[in-house]
């Protein structure tokens, strides 16, 4: 042990799911509870969380359905990416003061098995970056564009949800690798301006405007689209299929437009176009691409340090505001990665 039990905090606050949402989640589906903090058992470290992540996929884990990841358990702490400081260690190789990335978010203190904690360098990048641009969302963008969509120099790329953590990185990566044109959709005029003026997109549009998405995409991509990175689904996917060129490739990363629907979401009405255009639509989970992690960190880390790849975070302060941050993310109130900071 690195500290005595008397030096540890007595309680930790953590968010529990207490009711499975029907449609849009509401605050009453969650409870912030106090639990005792104990010294870490053998092979574990006690971490004071400094930042934790709220992400769209967490909405699916609130449903009691079989999926690629088990659902959250009722009356148990929710999980998610977090980065923090080790305050007590009972594991070889970890010392008090080390910063680690782990998956026990949604709480102030976490006793984490050492094998599930990864040391991160606070000098190389801000700690919150390991939850976004240099973390799971960044690897999602990198693998989804280069591995799943088989991006090649000269491709025209369309990204939905382009002002979010994944989408904004996809567009910039495409530009850095020689895309002929990058188009993004976002939910406000301010975000559209950000995409073009800060992130270097060639064109962007506000999908909430009265004009249908397919018409706005046609104007933004008069020569069609070779690669579509889908974070939204619904009307965006249908519009992309209509504008994709022969042998176009689509990475289906997320479909946030339908996450809170209580009825099955209709599929694209123009799916038959997939045949004539010989399109490839492929779903992705970032966990399938862990082998790319070293290459991703090396290449993207260099772009972040040089300033060639820009990123933004929307930071909500305080564990007590964790659920509101999550709901705000679902409503599209974030620009870039939504982070809950406990520092």
Indicate the pairing of strand 313-317 with strand 337-341.
Answer: parallel
Strand, coil or helix: what is 280? strand
Give the separation between CA 182 and CA 205, rounded to whole angstroms: 12
For the segment 320-340, what is each residue's pLDDT rounded down to a tens digit?
999 999 999 999 899 889 999
CB-facing half-sphere around the CA of 19: CA atoms within 13 A: 11
Lowest mean pLDDT among 3-7, 227-231, 306-310: 3-7
pLDDT at position 5: 53
Give the separation between CA 20 and CA 32, rounded to whole angstroms: 15
Give the separation between CA 51 and CA 337, rounded to whole angstroms: 12
Measured at the alpha carbon of residue 57, what is the angle toward residues 55 and 62, in degrees to the nearest 5? 105
Q: Please report which residue ranges of the chain form alpha helices under DSSP H.
A: 57-61, 136-143, 165-176, 189-197, 213-220, 235-243, 273-277, 293-306, 322-330
pLDDT at position 295: 93
For the segment 253-274, what is each residue's pLDDT rounded down to a tens digit?
999 888 787 778 888 999 999 9
Q: Which of 56, 106, 101 is nearest to 80 (CA)?
A: 106
The number of residues making up the chain comes to 343
* Per-residue tokens: 59: 């909405």
Measured at the alpha carbon of residue 245, what is the angle toward residues 244 and 248, in degrees to the nearest 5? 75
Q: Which residues pair with residue 31 across a beta bridge? A: 16
pLDDT interval class at 6 (50, 70, 90): low
* CA distances (Å), origin 268, targets 5, 16, 101, 255: 58, 36, 38, 12
b/e 219-251 (16+ beta carbons within 10 angstroms → b): ebbeebbbbbbbbbbbbbbbbbbbbbeeebbbb
pLDDT at position 88: 95
* Per-residue tokens: 20: 């499975």
For the segment 274-305, what is each residue's pLDDT rounded down to a tens digit?
999 999 999 999 999 989 988 998 999 999 99
Q: Which of 87, 230, 83 is nearest to 148 (CA)?
A: 230
Domains, the chain, with CATH or none? 11-132+312-341 (3.90.180.10), 136-287 (3.40.50.720)
Give the separation between CA 111 and CA 144, rounded to whole angstroms: 32
* pTM (2 d.p.): 0.86
Strand, coil or helix: what is 164? strand
For the segment 135-173, what is each residue's pLDDT rounded down to a tens digit?
999 999 999 999 999 999 999 999 999 999 999 999 999
- Extended strands (E) in 44-155: 44-53, 82-89, 99-102, 109-113, 118-119
For the segment 16-46, what is each residue's pLDDT rounded down to a tens digit?
999 999 999 999 999 999 999 999 999 999 9
Residue 66 Ramachandran class (φ > 0 left, ψ -120 to 50 alpha, else beta): beta
* Per-residue tokens: 301: 């880390």
For the segment 39-73, what is each residue's pLDDT rounded down to a tens digit?
999 999 999 999 999 999 999 999 998 888 899 99
Q: Which of 340, 267, 251, 292 is nearest to 58 (CA)?
A: 340
Strand, coil or helix: what is 306? helix
pLDDT interval class at 1 (50, 70, 90): very low
Answer whether 12's CB lies under 8 Å from 319's CB: no
pLDDT interval class at 99 (50, 70, 90): very high
């Amino acid at each position: 042990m690195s500290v005595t039990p008397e030096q540890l905090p007595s309680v930790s606050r953590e968010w529990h799911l207490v009711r499975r949402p029907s449609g849009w989640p509401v605050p009453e589906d969650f409870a912030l509870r106090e639990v005792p903090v104990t010294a870490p058992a053998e092979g574990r470290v006690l971490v004071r969380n400094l930042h934790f992540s709220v992400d769209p996929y967490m909405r699916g884990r609130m449903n009691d359905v079989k999926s690629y990841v088990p659902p959250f358990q009722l009356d148990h702490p929710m999980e998610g990416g977090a980065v923090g400081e080790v305050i007590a260690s009972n594991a070889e190789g970890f010392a008090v003061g080390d910063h680690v990335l782990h998956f026990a978010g949604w709480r102030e203190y976490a006793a984490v098995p050492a094998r599930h904690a990864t040391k991160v360098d606070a000098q190389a990048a801000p700690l919150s970056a390991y939850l976004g641009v240099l973390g799971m969302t960044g690897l999602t963008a990198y693998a989804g564009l280069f591995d799943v969509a088989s991006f090649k120099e000269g491709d025209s790329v369309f990204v939905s949800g382009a002002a979010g953590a994944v989408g904004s990185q996809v567009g910039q990566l495409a530009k850095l690798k020689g895309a002929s044109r990058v188009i993004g959709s976002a939910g406000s005029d301010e975000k559209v301006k950000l995409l073009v003026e800060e992130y270097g997109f060639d064109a962007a549009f506000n999908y909430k405007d009265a004009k249908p998405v397919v018409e706005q995409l046609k104007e933004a991509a008069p020569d069609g689209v070779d690669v579509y990175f889908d974070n939204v689904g619904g009307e965006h996917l249908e519009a992309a299929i209509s504008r994709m060129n022969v042998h176009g490739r689509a990475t289906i990363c997320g479909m946030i437009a339908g996450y809170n629907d209580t009825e099955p979401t209709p599929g694209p009405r123009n799916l038959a176009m997939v045949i004539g255009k010989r399109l490839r639509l492929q779903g992705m989970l970032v966990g399938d691409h862990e082998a790319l992690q070293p290459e991703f960190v090396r290449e993207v880390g260099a772009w972040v340090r040089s300033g060639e790849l820009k990123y933004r975070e929307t930071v909500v302060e305080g564990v007590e505001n964790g659920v509101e941050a999550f709901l705000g993310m679902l409503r599209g109130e974030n620009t870039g990665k939504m982070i809950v900071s406990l520092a």
